[in-house]
Structure 1
Amino acid sequence: MTFATQRSLVPSLGALQAFEAAARLGSFTRAAEELNLTQGAISRQVAALEESLGVTLFERVRQRVTLTPTGQAYAAEIREALSRIASATLSAMAFRGAGGTLALAILPTFGTRWLIPRLPDFFQKHPEVTINFATRIRPFDFREEQLDAAIHFGDPAWPGAVTHRLMGEVIVPVASPGLIASAPIRAPADVLRVPLLQQSTRPRAWANWLELQGLPPGRALMGPSFEQFAMVAQAAVAGLGMAIVPRMLVEEELRTGQLVVPFDRPLDSRQGYWLVYPEEKRERHAVVAFRDWLLAQCGRERDETGPAMG
């Protein structure tokens, strides 16, 4: 399909915005209020769009409008397309400076507890770069997401992406002082008598730790499950059970005494944290600046904490 043919198939932006607003709000009147137009203008825009497509997008019953099945599918696609246009526009505006923007996916707890406290140093060194954050807890396809890079935990396999190992992690069992005293928990086998808090993206964490201690892993999944480490940590602070977490993500709770490591039985994770980004973005200034800064930060962490972090 030639570019000229593609262009002939693209409706006006005004018609698409009117349709998307009406589809999302379920009302031509509310769409008109949002877009600062008249209800009649929205109706005409949508009618013109339906005529150009040759399909019915809305069922009109008295004063109500309802999307047809075709309208529902088209609305989802147009909403994503308009979002991409807005994102591209923000990026273009950011390039008025020398740095541009970096759309970065981060792991929620790693981002809030490790990365964000260190970012003032990055912005001091690179005030020309703007970082927009999104959270992702599992790998994704860069071709389908408006993201430039991601910090990922796991293995380095990420098709079509450049990968840089940042660090490993040391996993430790933790619990509140109250739970340790009431259980009581004095030896590794004692953990089998309390709920074991689960992190949904690390379903083997407790089983791996128990096996390392020579204990049966049968109770490894006996406890409530949470999606983020921050929630697991808070559940442990509240005394809901015992957690097994990366030590670097609960340093504050350990420092304040909200959590305690009852015995020195750490588990070195077989996986690690990685910075990943698409091959075609390896030369972008914002990507290069963040990559170099982040690798330097992780190198400093290894120097300060020793080989356990790497």
Structure 2
Amino acid sequence: MLLPSLENLACFEAAARTLNFRTAARAVALSPAAFGQRIKQIEEQVGAPLFERTTRRVQLTPLGLAMLPRARQCLAMAEDCLRSAMSPAPAPVELTLGTRFELGMSWLVPQLGKLTRRRPEVTLHLYFGASDDLLRRLHDRSVDCVVTSARWSAASLAAETLHEERYAFVASPKLLQREEFSRPEHAARHCLLDIDATMPLFRYLADPMGGVGRFAFARHRWVGLGAAMKTLVLAGEGVAVLPLHMVAADLRSGKLKRLLRSAVLARDSFRLVYRRDDPRGALYAKLAESLRAAPIQ
């Protein structure tokens, strides 16, 4: 396959950005005729039109729309390649990474010093928020990337897998002394603590156990944060499904007990998620590599 020249890609990007061939030609210092020839060459290589042109307007075809983010990424990488050859030190980069409060405080904050020593040119800022807020901010470019185990369907996002996230269904020994919980029907004696109704952690137990309907809890209490759930579980105020990294030490010390030990809870993965059209994909891959080297305790 004959690859397009960077000059032709630059012409395509300029035309896509301005939607005016004369303006785009001036932006790349070409005559209109020479610019038109560049666009023709790249369309011939693709084998289909990238623009719909009339006497009144220019607009991208669906193929042109699909090609634009990758063209921009190629141009950005070419610039980075040239810049790295011209400069002995990497250019400084600032990234804002979004994460949940508990994960950020227990895992990411302790890693900031190591990440800075490994990548001194990268300044990593943190933003704490709920999963839906993080993905919304990623879409509107308020943050550059997020670490999350939340699921999404947007084709505009790309991800690097970091660590597996496991869960445990837990209660305090003093609660279990008052009320047994060895079978699903015992749920009728207990309060279920969870994040909120839209993203319940209990789904990691309910799905493999035959659905939420199998458990009829006496009541639910939504508390918004995993840390709040853990505090209330330790106090004997209810039962909860919590990330294993949050409760592993309490399980080892006996402060918490596993419930329904034969149940296999679903698992998920933490991922570093970023916008697919972000030209810093290589940087995110290296950041993910550093994060994978730091186990979640």
The percent identity for this pair of structures is: 21
Q: Deviations over 1:44-97 (max 9, x none)?
A: xxxxxxxxxxxxxxxxxxxxxxxxxxxxxxxxxxxxxxxxxxxxxxxxxxxx98
Structure 1 position 173, deviation (Å): 0.9
Match of 1:293 in 2: 290
Match of 2:115 in 1: 122
Aligned-partner Cα distance in 2 for 1:287–1:204? 29
Aligned-partner Cα distance in 1 for 2:182–2:139? 50
SS of the residue aligned with 1:223?
A: strand
- CA distance change for structure 1 residues 202 and 229 in 2, over 3 Å: closer, same or farther? farther
The answer to whether structure 1 residue 106 and structure 2 residue 106 are counterparts is no
Match of 1:170 in 2: 166
- Stretch moving more, 141-150 or 265-274: 265-274
> Is the 1:210–1:220 contact (alpha carbons within 8 Å) kept by the matching residues of 2?
no
* Aligned-residue RMSD, C-alpha: 3.4
Structure 1 position 226, deviation (Å): 1.5
Match of 1:206 in 2: 202
Q: Which amino acid aligns with 1:148?
A: D
Aligned-partner Cα distance in 1 for 2:197–2:124? 26
Structure 1 position 200, deviation (Å): 1.2
Q: Residue 187 of structure 2 is aligned with which of 162, 185, 191?
A: 191
Structure 1 position 282, deviation (Å): 4.2
Match of 1:275 in 2: 272
The answer to which structure has the higher helix fraction is 1
Aligned-partner Cα distance in 2 for 1:227–1:120? 29
Match of 1:228 in 2: 225
How many matched pairs?
Answer: 207
The answer to whether structure 1 residue 132 and structure 2 residue 129 are counterparts is no
SS of the residue aligned with 1:164?
A: strand
Match of 2:71 in 1: none
The answer to whether structure 1 residue 257 and structure 2 residue 250 are counterparts is no
Structure 1 position 266, deviation (Å): 4.7
Match of 1:75 in 2: none
Q: Deviations over 1:278-302 (max 9, x none)?
A: 234343775344222124446xx7x
Aligned-partner Cα distance in 2 for 1:157–1:223? 29
Q: Deviations over 1:5-29 (max 9, x none)?
A: xxxxxxxxxxxxxxxxxxxxxxxxx
Q: Which amino acid aligns with 1:287?
A: Y
Structure 1 position 182, deviation (Å): 1.6
Structure 1 position 232, deviation (Å): 0.9
Structure 1 position 113, deviation (Å): 2.4
Aligned-partner Cα distance in 2 for 1:164–1:212? 26
SS of the residue aligned with 1:140?
A: helix
Structure 1 position 102, deviation (Å): 1.4
Match of 2:53 in 1: none
- Stretch moving more, 250-259 or 240-249: 250-259
Superposition map of 1:22-171 within 5 A: 98-137=91-130, 138=132, 139-171=135-167
- Stretch moving more, 173-182 or 151-160: 151-160
- CA distance change for structure 1 residues 100 and 211 in 2, over 3 Å: closer, same or farther? closer
Unaligned 5+ runs, structure 2 = 1-17, 19-88
Aligned-partner Cα distance in 1 for 2:108–2:233? 23
Structure 1 position 259, deviation (Å): 1.9
Aligned-partner Cα distance in 2 for 1:284–1:252? 36
TM-score normalised per structure 1: 0.56
Aligned-partner Cα distance in 2 for 1:121–1:188? 44
- CA distance change for structure 1 residues 272 and 284 in 2, over 3 Å: closer, same or farther? closer
Structure 1 position 241, deviation (Å): 0.4
- Stretch moving more, 230-239 or 288-297: 288-297
Structure 1 position 178, deviation (Å): 0.9
